[in-house]
Amino acid sequence: MNSDDKQQPYAPNNDHFIEDIDDEELQELVLEAQREALSKEGLEKTKHKPKHPSPKWLFWIMATVLFFNTFAVIFQIYSIPAIEFLKTSTRLSAQGDIASYKKSVVVITTEDSKGTGFSISSDGTILTNYHVVDGNDTVTVIFPDDGMFKANVVHTYPSVDLAVLEINEEKLPYLSLAEQTTFVENDPIYFIGNPLSFTGIANEGTIIDYTQLSDWEKPVVMTKAPVYRGNSGSPVLNRDGLVIGVVFATLEDDVYGKVGLFIPIDYYYEQQPEERP
């Protein structure tokens, strides 16, 4: 498939790291914000009680306006699609295999950005995108269960937007790489990352096909999947739990609309041929 005449991809921007929030906690935050706002309004009315009582209908109009204003603010921060992918993540994370995969997916932070990476060995080798660590010799890596480490950027491959990090540690969880990227159209995939202001979000999608970008020598793979800023560096896993690629961008496609793009794991092996299993 050729897409030379299509719009260029953009790499998801990175956001600052904050604590993971699941969908139940998010809904509780929305309700708590509403309760606090209504409580504050009630206190203000008590302090400044009017000389003449207001009609009940006026109170209900004000309460309704306050209710919708509260939710409007919340949804400016957490859009409806974001809430939907939180629900999907909660469902997927209840599966034993997905919960296990998540232990190997890390938050990568620099002084001014956040992205995703994943462990590919028990002794601290991390794979991510080059643009996530561009300009840094060291970064901070945060495992969900194993804590925070300083990592050295040991290899960078800008032509395929990949980078390899190393930390001095042992017995870390890691994901297994597929021997090569193989798929058929509509094959299901999982991917795990740190989109928007969240961490450890599991999601799913389907593979569309290879596409050739005008500024890349090699084709990359299009997916129908909810990829957002911060998903850069997320592992793409097949149904056998093997990593077949690395998320790096999105694209507005003429035929499929907004799609996610991932780098086939073959390109990592071409840079590090001794790493092929």
All residues at 6 or more sequence positions from 246 whose CB lies less than 8 Å from its CB, including other chains: 127, 128, 129, 162, 233, 234, 235, 236, 262, 263, 265, 268
- CA 172 to CA 5: how far, in whole Å? 44
- Which residue of the set 113, 119, 232, 234 is catalytic? 232
131 counts as catalytic = yes
145 counts as catalytic = no
All residues at 6 or more sequence positions from 142 whose CB lies less than 8 Å from its CB, including other chains: 17, 106, 107, 108, 109, 148, 149
232 counts as catalytic = yes
Element of type H or E holding 151: strand 147-157
- Which residue of the set 3, 89, 104, 161 is catalytic? 161
How do the residues of the chain divide into helix, strand and coil, expressed in percent and rounded to 5?
30, 30, 40
- Which residue of the set 3, 23, 89, 131 is catalytic? 131
- Residues annotated catalytic, as ranges: 131, 161, 232
